[in-house]
Amino acid sequence: MDATVADPVIGRLLDGRYTAQERLAVGGMATVYVAHDNRLDRMVALKVMHPNLMHEPDFVARFHREARAVAQLNTPRVVSVMDYGSAQTPAGVLNYLVMELVRGRSLRQHLGAHGHLDPYESLEIVEAVADALTAAHVAGIIHRDIKPENILLGDDGQVKVADFGLARPLAQPTAALTQGVVMGTVGYLAPEQVTHGTSDYRSDVYAAGVVLFEMLTGQLPHTGATPMSVAYQSVHGDVPAPSTIVPGIPRELDALVLRATARRPDARPADGVAFLEEIRQVLPYVGDAMPAGAAVASYQDEYAPPAAADRYAPTRMEARPGGLDEYHETPAYLDESGYPRDPGHPGGRGHREGRGGPDAGAPARRAHANAPRAGHRRDGLRVGGWRPPTWAWGVVAAVVALILVVLAARALVSGGAGGSVPLLTGLSKEDAEAELSTDGLKWAYGTPVNHPTIPEGKVVDQSPKGNATVEPGDTVTIILSLGPEKIPVPNLSGMSLEAAQDQLEAENLVFGGTQQEPSDDVEEDKIIRTDPPAAQPVIEGTQVTLVISSGKNEVQVPSDIIGKSYNEAKAELEALGLQVRRDVDQSGAVSRDRVARTSPDPGQTVKAGDTVTLFVSAGGGGDGSGVMVQVPDVQGRTWKDAERILRGAGLRPEKDWLSGWKNDRDKVQFTAPEGGTVVERGSKVSVRLN
């Protein structure tokens, strides 16, 4: 069955005003339709929430929040929301948004068709995104879901940002985690959104930086089999320079991407305003350049029109690896006749005569790139749309030639004075000096500063800034990086594990796991020390291992301690870290002042610091030699056999009949001390017969 025909919203009049005509996109939260506004006689996009979400307050609030957020923004860079409300239908109450209908396609579709883009086009698109973020951030709104699916490339050259459903005012809570679900697409989440569940303007800048990386390389900086593995990489790994994947990308563009995607929020541009300014500083260095031999897409490239059967197909897209939604919501784009088509394809009706390949229009783009950009704002990208006739290019060439002649004459008169400062950020000291020397400039060095991403010894700043106008012989002040700022590892000794983890997080250090070892001084389950050790300077984000006390050392009461003198036994126990207590033994098993027994018994395991009681003989046993022997086991033997064995062991056996009858054939019932007991040689052993 045709899903469009079966759709209960198609053909229905909502609120007496909007008639849904066809379905364009299906997302995890809503379906988007082309609709007619009967009151104003115009075509609009109608975004209708799925009925099963109507009773979910969080989703309803998000739906309404999108309308309120966009209503505060007055910029052509944002897809406008014209109305929102709810309507009663046989399927129940439906919440809907009425949005501007953008004719074109999403950046995701554009990347899917062409892979990666050339540096100039990538930078122009992200400039438009930063322009939209500027409007949002000035209004105090965080978008929180910048990604290619939400960046629309219009047929008229406009770039627009859509889907403010996750947007919130900065003053409101901005948790990225809601009931265990990450809000936003995981590949574009900033590290602080993953680790702390919070976001601010700099989180939007991070996402835009990832989008720029993806446009330049055709891939995300972090990938993995699961969203969790992608999130882990974003927290613990830096975004690589795009030129390491696509050689030939200008270093200025590398530096812009690395700064926008720095793991530490304070190392990024503060908001859309600052990001936009940095983009415009880099644009002149990129020009129309693209990596040599790279097969990259151009937003002006031609492509075949859709087949007739696909003209009304919904733009439903599969989830990207690492994403959380089964589908992305993709706004709908139509050509003038109502057919879905790609942007930059005039009329959606086949190849226009005289249309060039990816380099078509390059002279105009280069002229644009080299033009002064102070105060420059575009209403849209120079893509698609009208192309000038052939004779116009001749006029342009003549004008450019005239300008070059005038500039050359002026240079001759002034002796070649005037030029621009090269951008030195990220260069080594030697390379920076070589660049300046080539341009006839002098240099001096200012005080080095720390920087979270630029390595030690590389240029972090300069004055005048890159692209500034200078005269030959002028001096450029270079500021070198000291590398990331280092902080001392805090002293966590004696803390609980939980308190130590909190302290590490407060110091922007990473908990690196635990190790256990015994300690006589630190209480069990408390921190003994850290690795790296306390006070050692480390960079933020360093992993710190916590060494935790498993309690005091365990030792054994010596098994040969019986029969030793008290002083000798005491010294031996104290050397093991044990406390000693003295008590009296009246058994007479050993001679006076020798250890008759212990508590705990010899061979038993105790902890360092525990107390061992030495029972010292009061006298009466043994020959005083201190030689210890073991009482043989003679149970069940006759008296004669028992006497012979005991005397052979150096002991003094004595008869003790259990009954009044005395018979040498009686058997030994037991001895005192019993067999196996260690006593001093010459000690008396009582033999009980029966």
Q: State yes or no: is 266 an active-site residue.
A: no
Residue 463 structural domain: 419-480
The model's confidence at residue 84, banded by pLDDT at 50, 70 and 90, is: confident
The pLDDT mean for the chain works out to 77
The model's confidence at residue 662, banded by pLDDT at 50, 70 and 90, is: low
Domain boundary among 499, 523, 549: 549
Q: Is the pLDDT of residue 229 over 80?
A: no
The predicted pLDDT at position 319 comes to: 32
Mean of pLDDT values over 556-567: 90
Measured over the CA atoms of residue 371, residue 372, residue 373 and residue 375, the dihedral's sign is negative
Of all residues in the chain, what percent are helix, strand and coil, respectively (each to 5)?
30, 25, 45
The predicted pLDDT at position 582 comes to: 93
Domain annotation covers residue 188? no
Domain annotation covers residue 202? no
| 558 and 545 fall within a common domain | no
Domain boundary among 591, 617, 643: 617
The model's confidence at residue 331, banded by pLDDT at 50, 70 and 90, is: very low
The model's confidence at residue 233, banded by pLDDT at 50, 70 and 90, is: confident
> Cα–Cα distance between 676 and 347 in angstroms, integer?
107
Nearest to 628 by CA among 555, 556, 558: 558
> Cα–Cα distance between 275 and 204 in angstroms, integer?
10
The predicted pLDDT at position 352 comes to: 29
| 497 and 520 fall within a common domain | yes
- Residue 205: Cβ-neighbour burial (10 angstroms; 0-12, 13-18, 19+): buried
Strands 92-99 and 42-49: antiparallel
Q: Is the pLDDT of residue 174 over 50?
A: no
The model's confidence at residue 350, banded by pLDDT at 50, 70 and 90, is: very low
| 567 and 590 fall within a common domain | yes
Domain annotation covers residue 200? no
Strands 168-169 and 141-142: antiparallel
Mean of pLDDT values over 166-181: 42
Domain annotation covers residue 271? no
The model's confidence at residue 642, banded by pLDDT at 50, 70 and 90, is: very high
Domain annotation covers residue 636? yes
Strands 92-99 and 104-106: unpaired
pLDDT in tens, 25-81: 787 778 889 999 999 999 999 999 888 777 777 777 777 776 777 777 878 999 888
Mean pLDDT lowest among 72-76, 103-107, 370-374, 468-472? 370-374
Domain annotation covers residue 99? no
Domain boundary among 617, 648, 668: 617
Which residue of the set 7, 118, 131, 145 is catalytic? 145
Q: Is the pLDDT of residue 240 over 90?
A: yes
The predicted pLDDT at position 275 comes to: 96
Total domains, the chain:
4
CATH number for the domain spanning 671: value is: 3.30.10.20
The predicted pLDDT at position 247 comes to: 93
Which comes out higher in pLDDT, residue 36 or 451? 36
The model's confidence at residue 328, banded by pLDDT at 50, 70 and 90, is: very low
| 514 and 538 fall within a common domain | yes
Mean of pLDDT values over 500-517: 90
pLDDT in tens, 352-402: 233 333 333 333 333 333 333 333 333 333 333 334 445 455 655 665 555
Q: Which of 7-11, 208-212, 331-335 has the highest mean predicted lDDT (pLDDT)?
A: 208-212
Mean of pLDDT values over 174-181: 39
> Cα–Cα distance between 330 and 334 in angstroms, integer?
13
Distance between the two ends of the chain, CA-based, in angstroms? 105
